[in-house]
Amino acid sequence: MFTRLIAMFRWWFYPGLGLKRWLGPLLIGIVILGLGIGLFLRDLYGTTIYPPILRVLLLQAWPRGFRAIIFCSIGVTFISVSLFKFNKNLLAAFLPHNATATYIAQQIYRHRKQRRGGSKVVVIGGGTGLSILLSGLKLHTENITAIVTVADDGGSSGKLRRELGVLPPGDFRNCIAALADDDLLTTQLFQYRFRSGGLEGHSFGNIFITAMAEVTGSFENALYESGRVLNIRGTILPSTLQNVTLFAELNEGEGTRKVEGESAIPEANLPIERVYFEPDTPPAFPPAIQALLSADLIVAGPGSLYTSVIPNLLVADIVTAIRASEALKVYICNVATQPGETDNYTLADHVEAIEAHTQTAESHYPKHLFEYVLANSNLNHVIPAEMNLQPVLPLPSSKNDYHLIALDVIDEQHPWRHDALKLANQLMNWYNNVKRK
């Protein structure tokens, strides 16, 4: 119980919340008010002869110091409870019905941080990895832009894409949910997946975004309005609005095999030589370019290397904008390999795959698209053998001159993926330290 109380009130004393500075004036005001009232009551309380029952209630038979402690304690209790109840009833019209004291403090903190601005962070990727990072990153800044791949063609997204000709909404739905308030019922509704009937396999969020695209007239407007409904902490943009298909050339030993479709690539379970789009020169979505050029920090990953991260980098203007940006640029490598995509890959293999897909003939740009590479350093947790995964070791390569950032970012309960809070905390702490130098 005591531990829960400490956890609840810890947020109310968090640096930057802006409440501690008013606690002192409040206490001073109460003391001055008490002294003023005391001047009026002093003579009355000390000289008046009260009936026996009142003498007991007023503790006149007790030492004066002890009486002062008792009365102060009672007064503080009444003031605290009254202020709490008053603010709770006042805020009830603006907060979810199940809002806690910690939730309220977090909302105040985020609001103040947004007003102060903060670092502009652009995150590039797709799939589960991107949503994990976003869910932790929103606690540090609200100046977040997620640039998401449009190559998804599996599951509910693939069905909607094939039947209605829309861009795949699944990765965008996950990002919207990740950046929304976790306590909101609408967030749970957005992620709800139908289990039977004609809508079996579809998630409500996918259908909502698709319908919103029809109502608003465009996919980008649908993303904006969907984010506004859930009050998300950032902006979500597609890397391109063109309806592209992801292809891969796979190594079959004696030759190469061409595979069509993002979902079919890992299913083939063959070494990947390269991935590419058809049509092969999709134009970038202009707001995505603007976000990259004005960013303070650009992050690629985590996520499936060939089907989530690299597809965004197949848009040539996205790569050009990353190279031209003055932001710090970090690639977050996966904690473990991925079957069918990165079997037996080392950290250097991940980096080299990105370099191979983003090489440029323009010599004035740095060799590496991402100068820094963040990898997990906590290798104390064993991945179950039946998952057929290997941890990606944080080992630098003699062939590459990127800067390795080895930090503990692992989810200890699921050691094949990142922990959202640890990853965001480590990333932003590293960024803030570099920025101070």
Using alpha carbons, select from 150, 148, 114, 227 the residue that is nearest to residue 181: 227
Query: What's the burial of 40, exposed, middle or buried (CB within 10 Å: 0-12/13-18/19+)?
Result: exposed
Report the b/e string of 131-154 with b at 16+ CB within 10 A: bbbbbbbbbbbbbbbbbbbbbbbb
Q: Does residue 386 carry a pLDDT above 60?
A: yes
Residue 436 dihedral angles phi and psi, to the nearest 5°: -70, -25
The identity of residue 183, as a single letter, is D
Mean pLDDT of 18-37: 73
Buried/exposed 312-343: b ≥16 CB within 10 Å, e otherwise: bbbbebbbbbbbebebbbbbbbbbbbbebbbb
Is beta strand 144-148 parallel, antiparallel or unpaired with respect to 235-238?
parallel
The widest CA-to-CA distance across the chain, in whole angstroms, is 109
pLDDT at 176: 93
pLDDT band with cut points at 50, 70 and 90 for residue 116: low
Q: What is the percent of the chain with per-residue pLDDT over 70, rounded to a whole number?
A: 79
In the chain, DSSP finds a helix count (H) and a strand count (E) of 17, 10
| Concatenated DSSP letters of 285-329 | PHHHHHHHHT-SEEEE-SS-IIIIIHHHHTSHHHHHHHHH--SEE
Q: Structure tokens of 237? A: 């943009």
* Predicted confidence (pLDDT) at residue 23 exceeds the cutoff of 90: no
Query: In whole angstroms, what separates CA 417 from the centre of its chain?
Result: 15
Determine the Cα angle at 316 with ends 315 and 318, to 5°.
70
How confident is the model over 52-81, as a mean pLDDT? 74
Q: What is the mean pLDDT of residues 361-372?
A: 73
Q: Which of 17-26, 167-176, 333-342, 373-382 has the lowest mean pLDDT?
A: 17-26
Residue 121's H or E segment, with its range, is strand 121-125
Q: What is the mean pLDDT of residues 143-154?
A: 94
- The CATH number of 120-150+239-436 is which of 3.40.50.10680, 3.40.50.2300, 2.40.30.170, 3.40.250.10? 3.40.50.10680
In the predicted structure, residue 256 carries a pLDDT above the cut 80: yes
312's CB contacts (< 8 A; 6+ apart) are: 124, 125, 126, 147, 148, 149, 239, 300, 318
Is the pLDDT score of 407 beyond 90? Answer: yes
Which amino acid, residue 161?
Answer: R
Choice between 147 and 200, residue whose per-residue pLDDT is larger: 147
- Rounded Cα distance between 9 and 101, Å, is 8
What tokens appear for 282 in the block? 């999709």
For 46-71, what is the mean pLDDT? 69
Distance separating alpha carbons of residues 232 and 187, to the nearest angstrom: 10
* Lowest model confidence (mean pLDDT) among 1-15, 369-383, 403-417: 1-15
Res 306 pLDDT > 90: yes
Residues 28-42: tens digit of each pLDDT? 877 787 777 776 666
pLDDT greater than 70 at residue 173 = yes
pLDDT at 4 over 60: no
The dihedral sign for the CA sequence 311, 275, 354, 367: negative
CA–CA separation, 306 and 262 (whole Å): 9
Q: Which is more confidently placed, 84 or 77?
A: 77
**Per-domain residue ranges for the chain?**
11-93+100-111, 120-150+239-436
Say if residue 255's pLDDT is above 60. Answer: yes
Of 104-113, 175-184, 248-257, give the range with the top mean pLDDT.
248-257
- In this predicted structure, the answer to whether residue 56 has a pLDDT above a threshold of 80 is no
Q: How confident is the model at residue 333 (pLDDT cuts 50, 70, 90)?
A: very high
In this structure, the strands spanning 245-251 and 272-278 are: antiparallel
Residue 279 preceded by cis peptide, ω within 30? yes
What average pLDDT does range 265-269 have in this prediction? 93
Determine the angle formed by the axes of helices 170-179 and 219-229, rounding to 10 degrees: 30
In this prediction, residue 37 carries a pLDDT of 73
pLDDT of residue 231: 83
CA distances from 43 to 37, 40, 140, 226, 253 (A): 11, 7, 56, 66, 101
Answer yes or no: are the C-beta atoms of 277 and 270 closer than 8 Å.
no
Q: If we measure between CA atoms, which residue out of 244, 240, 246 comes closest to residue 220?
A: 240
The residue-averaged pLDDT of 413-431 equals 95
Provide mean pLDDT across the span 376-386.
93
| Residue 260, strand partner residues | 247
What does the alpha-carbon distance between residue 218 and residue 166 come to, in Å, rounded to a whole number? 9
**pLDDT at 17 (0 to 100):** 53
pTM, full prediction? 0.75
Tokens representing residue 288 in the block: 């995505």
d(CA 308, CA 270): 18
How far, in Å, are 20, 30, 33, 47 from residue 25 at the CA level?
10, 9, 12, 33
